[in-house]
């Protein structure tokens, strides 16, 4: 499934298309064709099924090895992720590193939580995708008095 999604993304996007999508991402409605593909396509369906089994995960998305969105459970802050430090650290020059971030407020999901980062590797060890999941810990925050 992931390999098929990666292959489809490589066919889908030229550099100009990527810049156009990224430039208009925040204003794109969820019924725009690219949004529908990313929110309802096969990759998104698998992520949403996993999310239903693990309801603490308020947001999950997957990118290809170039940082382009392949699927998501909800609209993210941006389409292109490779310019984010967490993505670069997870990609780790193609070696792939699994790690988690610090407690933070996630604007996309509107929740406090801990981000988890997971590289997906092909049989040869090459990173082909990166998954980010956000573990909601919002019910713990009121006791700390923290605000976004």
What is the largest distance, in Å, between two alpha-carbon atoms of the chain?
A: 48
Across 66-92, average pLDDT: 94
> For the whole model, what pTM was predicted?
0.85
Q: Kindly tell me if the per-residue pLDDT of 87 is higher than 60.
A: yes
Q: Are 128 and 2 in contact (CB under 8 A)?
A: yes
pLDDT tens digits for range 120-143: 998 899 999 999 999 999 888 766
pLDDT tens for each residue of 49-58: 999 999 999 9
Domain ranges across the chain? 2-143
Q: What CATH number does the domain located at 2-143 have?
A: 3.30.450.20
Q: Above 90 in pLDDT, residue 63?
A: yes
d(CA 77, CA 121): 25
């Amino acid at each position: 499934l992931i390999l098929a999604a990666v292959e489809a993304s490589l066919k889908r996007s030229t550099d100009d298309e990527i810049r156009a999508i990224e430039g208009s991402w925040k204003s794109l409605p969820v019924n725009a064709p690219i949004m529908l593909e990313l929110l309802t396509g096969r990759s998104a369906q698998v992520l949403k099924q996993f999310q239903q089994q693990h309801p603490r995960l308020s947001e999950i998305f997957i990118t290809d090895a170039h940082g382009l969105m392949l699927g998501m459970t909800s609209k993210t802050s941006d389409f292109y992720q490779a310019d984010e430090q967490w993505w670069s650290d997870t990609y780790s020059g193609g070696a792939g590193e699994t790690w988690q971030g610090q407690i933070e407020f996630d604007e996309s999901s509107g929740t406090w939580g801990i981000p988890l980062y997971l590289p997906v590797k092909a049989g040869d060890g090459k990173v082909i995708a990166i998954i980010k999941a956000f573990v909601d810990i919002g019910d713990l925050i009121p006791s700390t008095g923290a605000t976004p």
